[in-house]
Amino acid sequence: MLEHLGKKRYALPFVVFLVVACVMSMVVYPMVAAEPMNLPLGILSLDAGAETPQGHLNAGEAIVAQVTEAEADDESGTQAVAWTAYDSQEALDEAIANEELYAAVVIPADFSASNVQAKAAEAQALAEQAAQIAAAQAAVANTANPSNPQEAPSTLPQIEQTATDTPPIAPLSVIVDEGKHPMAASTVETMLTTMLAQQGLPYTVERAREASIGGGTLNMALQFTVIPTFIMTMICSVALYALTRAPKTASRSERWKTVGIQFVLAVCLSWLVGFGTTAILETSGLSIPSLDTGLFLWLASFCLMLLFVGCFDVAVPLGAVVILICFAGGMACGNLPYELLPTFYQDWLYPWVPQHFISDGIRQIFYTGATAANSAAATLVWFGIVGAATLGASLFIPRSGNKNGPELRPVNE
């Protein structure tokens, strides 16, 4: 076939290089340039306030106002986090249950009171220390200078440290929802704890929907699932079409038979991809729900295999373009949360690329206790429906037969 290109075939390696370079750039760029944008966070103040000589103090409300006003003053709309203030614990719990937030900060009811008590105890300690210093200075001043230096006291009066029990400040509660996205949850936790530490505020960390799957690769579990599943599905689809494609001269009945063989082999190969990926995860030390994980990945691989093989059956260039677009645009969308993706990926690729839904389904199985029949699986079925329709449509596309024209048969006289 390359001989028909003539001298143009020498440019083919450069074309392949450009295509591969563009594909890999689309895969790598979002991961290298990932920056958080408008990560949804919540804040709730339960602070009841405290009375001071200067009047009523509510430090919790002041913190909420400071956070929300700083966000309102930012007109660029590209801040790293987007804060939402809540009025009650019930409203915040509902938002976390609906996966609306990556994390939230809760200010306790006795926050202001504990601050006032801590400052009062600190002031009392400083006053007692100042009184000791004054007493020591007075003792030194009233000491007569002895005529004999040997009679002078060897040491000056020592200042005793006053043992006071300073009440601790009530810690803020940082609630991190790992089930929404483990990578974003880790990023948000680091941001919040660093911010509170810089402000000198005590805090505790509470994790919602924390996965108990063991192993040291918890945050990478999604990547280790999405990438092998898609790549093995892609390779199997190309191999399946190359080994089973019907010749151009095949009749419609023969092409029906070919499509049936492709369907059966897709079932078998996708089963190997789904449960093979599950076995890889288990051998890496993760304790995962094997059956649900394997069934979900089987379904995802089968639906995508139908789509890829169906596009190849319609036209080889169509199948190649669909695979390259899904691979180039989907790998980052399957690994990164929406808020860390560039705007182009958020608007044009994230809503439909299959890796996004594979990642969502696995996240639901690992972190929320969902089964293989989750919401992401329902979306992936549509890829399979489109693939099955494409396979069926390929049967009715006219094929060019013998290039020498129809065979001439002798007419019996």
CA distances from 281 to 227, 258, 287, 293 (A): 12, 34, 8, 10
In the predicted model, what is the mean pLDDT of residues 271-296?
Answer: 91
pLDDT score at 403: 45
E strands present in 178-253: 203-208
Contacts of 336 (CB under 8 A, 6+ apart): 30, 31, 34, 183
Question: What torsion do the CA atoms of 193, 198, 199, 205 make, to the nearest 10 degrees?
Answer: 10
In the predicted model, what is the mean pLDDT of residues 274-297?
Answer: 91
pLDDT over 60 at 9, yes or no: yes
Residue 3 carries which DSSP code? G
Mean pLDDT check: name the lowest of 71-80, 154-163, 369-378.
154-163
Gap between the Cα atoms of 203 and 105, Å rounded: 9
Q: Is 190 or 287 the better-scoring residue by pLDDT? A: 190
The per-residue pLDDT of the chain, averaged, comes to: 85
What type of residue sits at position 4? H
| pLDDT tens for each residue of 59-96 | 999 999 988 886 655 555 678 899 999 999 999 999 99
Between strands 103-107 and 172-177, the pairing is antiparallel
What type of residue sits at position 239? A
In the predicted model, what is the mean pLDDT of residues 248-252?
Answer: 86
Gap between the Cα atoms of 198 and 169, Å rounded: 16
Residue pair 325/22 in contact (Cβ under 8 Å)? The answer is: no
Mean pLDDT check: name the lowest of 152-156, 200-204, 227-231.
152-156
Q: Is 148 or 136 the better-scoring residue by pLDDT? A: 136
Residue pair 259/391 in contact (Cβ under 8 Å)? The answer is: yes
Residue pair 132/160 in contact (Cβ under 8 Å)? The answer is: yes
What is the C-alpha radius of gyration for the chain, rounded to an integer number of angstroms?
A: 34
Tokens 């892609």, located at residue: 234
CA geometry: angle at 390 spanning 388 and 395, to 5°? 105
Nearest to 106 by CA among 57, 179, 175: 175
Q: In 10 A of CB 390, how many CB atoms?
A: 21
pLDDT over 60 at 146, yes or no: no
Mean pLDDT check: name the lowest of 84-93, 203-212, 266-275.
203-212
Task: For each of the domains in the chain, give its residue range(s) and CATH number, in order of start.
Answer: 39-113+166-208 (3.40.1710), 217-394 (no CATH)
Residue 372 corresponds to which tokens in the numbers above?
A: 């293989």
Residue pair 213/182 in contact (Cβ under 8 Å)? The answer is: no
Mean pLDDT check: name the lowest of 118-122, 339-343, 402-406.
402-406
pLDDT over 80 at 214, yes or no: no
Gap between the Cα atoms of 249 and 31, Å rounded: 46
In the predicted model, what is the mean pLDDT of residues 333-352?
Answer: 93
Contacts of 174 (CB under 8 A, 6+ apart): 103, 104, 105, 189, 192, 193, 196, 203, 204, 205, 206
pLDDT score at 236: 97
Residue 265 corresponds to which tokens in the numbers above?
A: 């082999």
pLDDT over 60 at 149, yes or no: no
In the predicted model, what is the mean pLDDT of residues 260-271?
Answer: 97
Question: Would you call 206 helix, strand, or coil by DSSP?
Answer: strand
pLDDT over 70 at 48, yes or no: yes
pLDDT over 50 at 396, yes or no: yes
pLDDT over 80 at 344, yes or no: yes
pLDDT over 60 at 265, yes or no: yes
Residue pair 249/401 in contact (Cβ under 8 Å)? The answer is: yes
Q: Is 410 or 196 the better-scoring residue by pLDDT? A: 196
What type of residue sits at position 364? Q
Phi, psi of 51 (to 5 degrees): -95, 135
Residue 405 banded pLDDT, cuts 50, 70, 90: very low
Residue 125 banded pLDDT, cuts 50, 70, 90: low
pLDDT over 60 at 274, yes or no: yes
- 156-164: long-range contacts (C-beta < 8 A, 24 or more apart)? 159/129, 159/132, 159/133, 160/132, 161/129, 162/125, 162/128, 162/129, 162/132, 164/121, 164/124, 164/125, 164/128
pTM: 0.83
pLDDT score at 74: 57
Residue 330 banded pLDDT, cuts 50, 70, 90: very high
pLDDT score at 122: 64
